[in-house]
Structure formats: C-alpha cells, structure tokens
Amino acid sequence: MKKSHILLIGVIAVAIFIIISTAGDASSYVTFSQAKALFESGNTKKIHVVGELPKDSAGEVIGIERGEDMVSFSFLMTDSNNETRKVYYNEPMPPDFHRSEQVVVIGGFRDDIFIADQILLKCPSKYQEETVKVTGVKTLD
C-alpha cells in the first residue's frame, strides 16, 4: 500500500471519530421542568432550554438584574410551557439582548436557578418585509 493511501485512511478514521464523539453532545430543547428533572436525576450534560423574555405593556424586557460585579446578570425567562424561571449568566449581557424574540440558554440547574454557560439569541431580522407607506407623492394619470 502506498503512503498516501495509509494517510488517507488515517484522515478518514479521524473524521469518523470526531463525528461520532460530537454526536453525543447534541441536545434537544427542553422545558425548565424537564431540565430540573434531568438535573435531579444526576444528568451533568449541558441542557438547552428555549424561551422568551417577559415584557411589560410597553414592550420593555422585565426582570433583568445586574450582578454585584457589574459584569454578570440574571434575568427571567418563560419557556414553552409558560413556566418563568430565573436564569443567571456569569458574562456580560449580549448585544441586542433586549431586542431578542427567543432566547436559548445552555447550562444546568443549581438549586432553583438555571445557570447558563451560553446564551443564543434570535433577534428580529432587519431583513423582514415591511410595508412602507408613502405620503405626498402625486401619481401621473
């Protein structure tokens, strides 16, 4: 066998190993109740919870608190079962956090608070189709 064939087989074997090892880390979205049950059963893997930020009547996000270190923060999040829980994030607030439509937090429970290691945001698209109303333009008839 040529050295190039052996090298190619080695590269393919490494690629297969990487694919198999990362497939075990894939996670589906769960609710806070399911995440809490997983935590209480001893699950140590990262859990993905998807939800929305509660807003007041003016559309402003409510329930955000800065940490004492002025870097970390906590916020309220409502999952798909309308269960609202406190989420703690030990990093600075992501840009456009207040504008996000949906939030995915990745982490786990500690006591009764969800500790997020990562936050993924789904923000309103700036490319959404909007109706533009034009006034003061005369048409040629």
Q: What is the pLDDT of residue 133?
A: 61
Topology of 28-122 in CATH? OB fold (Dihydrolipoamide Acetyltransferase, E2P) (2.40.50)
Q: What is the pLDDT of residue 29?
A: 84
Question: Per residue of the chain (141 residues), what is the pLDDT tens digit?
Answer: 688 888 888 888 888 887 776 665 556 788 998 888 888 888 778 889 999 999 888 888 888 898 888 789 999 999 989 999 999 999 998 888 888 888 999 998 887 889 999 999 987 665 555 565 666 656 565
Q: What is the pLDDT of residue 130?
A: 59
User: Rounded CA gap, 124 and 126, in Å?
Assistant: 6
pTM given for the model: 0.67
Q: What is the pLDDT of residue 4?
A: 83
Q: What is the pLDDT of residue 107?
A: 92
Q: What is the pLDDT of residue 132?
A: 59
Q: What is the pLDDT of residue 6?
A: 84
Distances from the Cα of 101 to the Cαs of 8, 59, 122, 129, in angstroms?
46, 11, 6, 17
- Which residues is 89 bridged to in the sheet? 73, 116
Q: What is the pLDDT of residue 140?
A: 63
Both tokens assigned to 137: 């333009």
User: Rounded CA gap, 38 and 46, in Å?
Assistant: 10
- Strands 47-52 and 65-66, by their bridges, are unpaired
